[in-house]
DNA sequence: ACGGTGACGCTCA
DNA sequence: TTGAGCGCCACCG
């Protein structure tokens, strides 16, 4: 398991959590957006890796982070649970895909 | 340092 | 439009 860094300094994962926390309710963002926001547009995979081990479970709304193609992607508690949470916030999900994805998509400082 | 793994992203058929 | 392939980066043993 990719337990979060034991380092005190702001590691890659910490940056990911910080960005994810900024996503407002009823909106979603993508792994790629977060990667870009932290200055590493190609670290989308690493972003997912960090969220997977997200130690700030209730603090970081990791369920609001989806794939760039509008798919739910994955979730530690199951993609189904993720879809349910999003639906509660107003983001309809059908068969693992976000409805009106571009509309619900949230971008950082852009 | 190296190889394996993964909640990704883009391109091509 | 959907699926397969390849490349990307960070973390672990």
Could you report the per-residue pLDDT of A12-47, keeping only the tens digit for each? 999 999 999 999 999 999 999 999 999 999 999 999
Residue nearest to nucleotide C12 (CA to C1'): A2
Residue in A45, A73, A75 with CA at minimum distance from that of residue A61:
A75
Alpha helix locations (H) across A5-110? 12-21, 31-37, 44-52, 79-88, 101-104
Mean pLDDT of A6-15: 75
Query: Cβ of A94 < 7 Å from strand C?
Result: no
Distance in angstroms: CA A110, C1' B3? 38
User: Is A62 noted as a catalytic residue in this protein?
Assistant: yes
Query: Cβ of A46 < 7 Å from strand C?
Result: yes
Helix (H) or strand (E) holding A97: strand A97-98
Write out which nucleotides of chain B lie closer than 7 A to a protein Cβ.
5-10
Q: What is the pTM of this model?
A: 0.92
């Amino acid at each position: 398991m990719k337990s979060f860094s034991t380092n005190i300094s702001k590691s890659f994962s910490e940056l990911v959590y910080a960005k994810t926390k900024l996503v407002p309710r009823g909106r979603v963002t993508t792994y790629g957006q977060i990667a870009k926001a932290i200055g590493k547009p190609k670290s989308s995979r690493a972003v997912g890796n960090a969220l997977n081990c997200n130690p700030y479970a209730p603090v970081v709304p990791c369920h609001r982070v989806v794939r760039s193609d509008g798919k739910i992607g994955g979730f530690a508690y199951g993609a189904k649970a993720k879809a349910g949470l999003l639906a509660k916030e107003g983001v309809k999900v059908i068969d693992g895909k976000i409805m009106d994805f571009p509309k619900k998509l949230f971008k950082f400082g852009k």
